[in-house]
Structures are given as structure tokens and as C-alpha cells.
Amino acid sequence: MRFNKVALSFLLAMCIARASYAQSTEDNGKLNSNATLDELIDFALQNKIELKQADIDKEIGEREIASALSGWFPQINATGTLAHAIQIPTNVINGQVIQMGQKNTSSFGFRADQAILSPELFQASRAAKYVRQQNDQNIESTKITTVVDVSKAYYDILTSEESINIINENISRLQRQYTEANARYETGLVDKTDFKRALISLNNANAELKTAKEMRQYKYDYLKMLLGLNPRESMTLSFENQAMENNILLDTTEILSYANRVEYRQTETLKNLQKLNTQYQKWQFLPQLGAYGMYNANFFNNEFSRLYATNFPSSSIGLSLSVPIFTGTKRIQEIRKSELQEERIAWDLQNLENQISTEYSAAMANYRSNMNEWRNSKGNMELSEDVYNTIKLQYDAGIKTYLELMTAETDLKTSQLNYLNALYAVLSSKLDIQRALGTVDITE
């Protein structure tokens, strides 16, 4: 009875654990509806295909390290032979012809080798740390690219959504203006030119809206690709509390540090690996030393049925030493080649420093330029709103012409779209600065 209670409790615990695992797996594999930017980034860091591949590459690297270091373990081999002599070898001893051996022979052997001094294994042991660093840095680099790309794609969609809202507002205004112009024409206050112009503007705005919606769909598909989602899966985003103006400020006094850049650390890791390769080439002058032990079971008999009746074993243990004396200057050439490769990587580091400095300078210039453009666009948008409202009142009073109203409407819409594009450019250039500084937050 007590056993049944224990078994029942165990099964219940297993079911709960399995349900919890299934729920967590489902949560990790499905994007929440009305996802925020932070949720998109977290989802991408768990599901993006390139990151999954990078994780697999890290696992492959661990297997390669384990495979290389396995040489420090004893290497045990077994062999076996079975032979039937059609003609037994003969020899002449003291003038007599004597057959050497028997018709049937067989042997089974075991040999164990243990490396004691091996340049290859020294190299593998010291390189393991740098290989792991390399794999971790590759994952970090992919994560940085993911965060930046997903953030830009999200802001791009947000800009598109706001642009569509502006176009819809513009269409509503044009629809009212068309209705008013048509009513004035029918009452004989104006000729048909005004309402035809209004119809042309309305048709153009509807065409612009269709184009904007098509581009928005592409941007959603692009974001799905970044997230690792199937294009046929539905995705809804939340833009609440995403006032883009609140995210544009950046500390422009932060000092550039090359060590913060993952690309710089990756190149340093390559340099360390190359130094280790140079050391390995020097180790090639060392002898190889190992220990071994062997056991052989030997059987032979002229009658096959009695072949394995008697065993004549042999066994031995010992040391093996291999000393390379002359290899045609190959080792010297390999050392020199590796030293030259070290020197080349050192130049790569210096060149990378110059590239990072230039990249940071360009990103900062773009950010400041885009900030100026954004401020100017914001001012123009506010002025355009005032101008449009004033001209609309004057048009309703019969002071301004419809052409002037259309011009004000076009200026308003253009200034609003320019403001949105400038705002997106500022956010994008801010991300570029963070990438250049190596300060992109990749924590999940």
C-alpha cells in the first residue's frame, strides 16, 4: 500500500514536470500578441535562426575540443589474425631441410598506448580556452546584430504605422474638401475646377495609402524573418508607451574603447591562437614520448579443430621515443610562416582600430545631423499646421483660393512625413553609435 502511494506521487510529479516543460517550451516558441520591442528582442535572442546555428557551432567546438584532448587518454586497440599455410615455409639447418611453423595459426592481441610528451596534445590543451572564447564571441556578435536589426525594424514599422495614420487623416481632410468643393460647384458659387482638383488629390492620396500598406506588409515580413518566424504566422505589435521622441537622446561624451567592440576581441583571440600556433611549431623540435603495454594470445596447430587448444601468450610493456632529427628545414619554415601570420594579424588589429574610429565618427556625425534635421522638421510641421489651419479658415470665409488650400494641405502632409522620417533616422543612427561604442544591451 505504501509502495502504491509512493508510485502515485512519483507519477503525479512527473506529469506536473512534463506539463511545466511543455508550457515553457510553448511560451518560448510562440510570440505574444501585441508584442512590445523588449518582447521582440527577447524572442529573437531565443529563436533567430542565426543564433541557433551559432549555438550549434559552439557545441561543435566543444566536441572538437573533446576530440583533440582525447589523445591524453590511453589508446587501446585489439587485433586478430587467422591464417592457413598452403605451403609451410622451410629452411636449411645443419644440412637438414626443416619446416618452420604449422599449417594453422591464429593470434589475438591488445595494445595500450599512453602519450606522455606530445606537441599536438600540448597545442590542443592550450588552444581549448581560445576556441571557447571564439565561439562565445561569435554568439555575442550575432546577438548584437540581432538586437540592432530588430530594433530598427520595429521603429521602421512604427514609422510606417504613423505614416499611414497621417495619410488617412489627409484623406479625411481631402474627402471633406471634395465634398465642400462639390457642394459649392452645385450651388454655383465656384466652377468645377476646385472639386476636380480635390478629386485628383483624393485619388493620389488613396494610391499613396495603398503603396504605404504594401510596404508595411513587407516590413512585417522582414521582422518575422529576423525573429525566425514563419511568414504565414500572424504577428501583432504593441506601440503603446513607444513615444519615439523619448528614446532619441544619447550621451555623446562617452569615450570610445576598442576593447568594448566584439570584433576587436575576436581579432585578439585570433592573434592569441596564432601565437599558440607559433609555439606549437617550435614544439615540433621536441621528441615524442609514450608508454605502451601489449598482450598477444598465439595459437598454432596442424589440425584446425585443435587450433585453439593451447595458447602460447606473449606480453610486454615499455616506452617509445621518437626524436625528429632533420626534416629538410620544414620546421624552421613553418615557424617563420607562423610569425609572419602573427605580424599580419597585428596589422589587422591596427587597421580595425582605424575602422572603428571612422565608424564611430561617421555614426556620431549622422546622429548629430539627423538630430538637426529632426528639430528642423518638427518646427516645420508645427508651422505647417498653423498655416493650414489659418488658410482653411480663410478659404471657408472666401478669402483664399482652393489652390492655396491644396498647397497648404500638401505642405502639412509633407512636413509630417518628413518629421517621422527624420525621427526614424535619429533612432537608427543612435543604434549605430551604440554598436560603434560596443554598448548594445544583449541581455535577455
Q: What is the DSSP string of 398-416?
A: TSS-HHHHHHHHHHHHHHH
Q: How many Cα atoms occupy the beta-carbon half-sphere of 250 within 13 Å?
A: 25
pLDDT band at 444 (very low <50, low <70, confident <90, very high): low
Q: How many Cα atoms occupy the beta-carbon half-sphere of 65 within 13 Å?
A: 17
Does residue 106 carry a pLDDT above 80?
Answer: yes
Does residue 278 carry a pLDDT above 50?
Answer: yes
pLDDT band at 289 (very low <50, low <70, confident <90, very high): very high
- Region 350-363 average pLDDT: 96
pLDDT band at 13 (very low <50, low <70, confident <90, very high): very low
CB 45 within 8 A of CB 38: no
Query: Could you give the 3-state DSSP secondary structure of residue 316?
Result: strand
Does residue 165 carry a pLDDT above 70?
Answer: yes
**For 133-159, what is each residue's pLDDT tens digit?**
999 999 999 999 999 999 999 999 999
pLDDT of 41: 92
Which range has the worst mean pLDDT, 2-11, 142-151, 256-265?
A: 2-11
Instruction: Say which DSSP state 37 is in.
Output: H
Does residue 21 carry a pLDDT above 60?
Answer: no
263's CB contacts (< 8 A; 6+ apart) are 141, 352, 356
pLDDT of 189: 65
**Nine-digit cell string for 200:** 485628383
Q: What is the largest CA-CA distance in the chain?
A: 144
Residue type, 24: S
**For 231-250, what is each residue's pLDDT tens digit?**
888 888 887 655 677 788 88
User: Nearest 5 degrees, angle CA 437-CA 441-CA 444?
Assistant: 160
Does residue 105 carry a pLDDT above 90?
Answer: yes
pLDDT band at 95 (very low <50, low <70, confident <90, very high): confident
- Region 266-293 average pLDDT: 94
- Region 172-192 average pLDDT: 79
pLDDT band at 389 (very low <50, low <70, confident <90, very high): very high
377's CB contacts (< 8 A; 6+ apart) are 415, 418, 419, 421, 422, 423
pLDDT of 246: 78
**For 24-51, what is each residue's pLDDT tens digit?**
334 456 888 888 888 999 999 999 999 9
Does residue 251 carry a pLDDT above 90?
Answer: no
% of the chain at pLDDT higher than 90: 66
- Among candidate residues 205, 182, 235, the one with its CA nearest the CA of residue 47: 235
Does residue 230 carry a pLDDT above 80?
Answer: yes
% of the chain at pLDDT higher than 70: 91
Q: Is the dihedral of CA 415, 419, 425, 429 positive or negative?
A: positive
CB 115 within 8 A of CB 312: no
pLDDT of 4: 44
- Region 161-166 average pLDDT: 92
